[in-house]
Amino acid sequence: MTLDDLRKEYHDAICRDLLRMNKNQQKGDYPNNADGDSRISVSIAKEIYAQLGPPQYATISVQNSDDLFAILTKDFIEKCFNLLNHLRPGNWRYYLKTEISQFEQYKDFAEMDSFLKEHKELATTIGQAYIPKPDILIGREPLTDNEINKYREILSTGINRGKRTPLRQANNPSPKPILFAAIFCPWTLGLNQAQRIKFDAISLINKRKGKAPQIAGVTAETNLLKIASLAFETGELDCVYHFALNELKNAITTINDESQLDMYKTLVEGRRLRDISDLPFDLAV
């Protein structure tokens, strides 16, 4: 199966399970990935919808939309990254809505939580630690010494080197996966959501003990200004990915809105916005 096949399968699943047309007597019908208060966003969303599949009418809550989008995106990433295993070999695990304390770089969160539960009198003084909650987490399992020595002797018998690296399973009696990537998946970008995601991303960077994970955002938002609010600036997310970037460009070209096309070019040529099909390759870097 090719990357094109998987992208088509991803879009088919989104059209089947998630992308819906909202009925609204005042604003008119519009897709549920559009900003209903923005005429341009609605026009773009309708053009994208026309490229992907026939409209279905139903109502899906914002929370359910985000959850479904994360599930479908995780499946797509897992299938694609498996195709690229020869480029980035490893024993990869994919998680949804999993506490980051389950990973090596953030296991102190679990220890702190356990400590505060045992010493409740301190909880009101110290307070609870803020824990970022990415939608998709990709972890790499630590390696056994036999795996490390698979092709040649790297860890010499009787000489115990590399004693503290988390990549070596033997260094920890209860080894945890190493967090490789954290991905936020807002179906659309509501009020202040971009800032919340950026705050979580900064927390992931600042609170780690060890290697920083790759951090990305994936969205189906059609309001270019909202996408820009997540994609602009550097230091929080490595990049933002649109679930249908080619279709987004076609839609903007069709409605012939110069300001939207300028914003699109700024985001894409500025290397802040890419297509979902780029994400597996960027993970393999």
Task: For 84-101, write each residue's pLDDT tens digit.
Answer: 999 999 999 999 999 999
pTM of this structure: 0.92
- Average pLDDT over the chain reads 91
Q: Is the pLDDT of residue 109 over 80?
A: no
Would you tell me the crossing angle of helices 193-206 and 224-231 to the nearest 10 degrees?
A: 20
Backbone φ and ψ of 211, nearest 5° = -65, 135
Q: Is the pLDDT of residue 33 over 60?
A: yes
3-state secondary structure of 174: coil
Q: Is the pLDDT of residue 124 over 90?
A: no
Closest by CA to 133, choosing from 107, 100, 102, is 100
Q: Which residues contact 166 (CB under 8 A, 6 or more apart)?
A: 104, 142, 172, 175, 176, 178, 210
Q: Is the pLDDT of residue 217 over 60?
A: yes
Per-residue model confidence (pLDDT) at position 193: 93
Most confident of 72-76, 121-125, 127-131: 72-76
Q: Domains in the chain and their CATH numbers?
A: 62-153+161-283 (3.40.50.10010)
Closest by CA to 187, choosing from 41, 45, 32, is 32
pLDDT band at 208 (very low <50, low <70, confident <90, very high): very high
What span, in angstroms and rounded, lies between the C-alpha atoms of 239 and 217?
7
Per-residue model confidence (pLDDT) at position 1: 87
Sign of CA dihedral 35, 36, 38, 42: positive
Mean pLDDT of 120-131: 60
Give the distance, in angstroms, between the CA of residue 167 and the centroid of all CA atoms in the same chain: 23
Sign of CA dihedral 48, 52, 54, 57: negative
Q: Cβ distance 132 to 100 under 8 Å?
A: yes
Q: Which residues contact 98 (CB under 8 A, 6 or more apart)?
A: 137
Mean pLDDT of 116-134: 65
Per-residue model confidence (pLDDT) at position 129: 64
Q: Is the pLDDT of residue 26 over 80?
A: no
Q: Is 153 exposed, middle or buried (0-12, 13-18, 19+ CB in 10 A)?
A: exposed
- Per-residue pLDDT of 230-241, as tens digits, reads 999 767 999 999
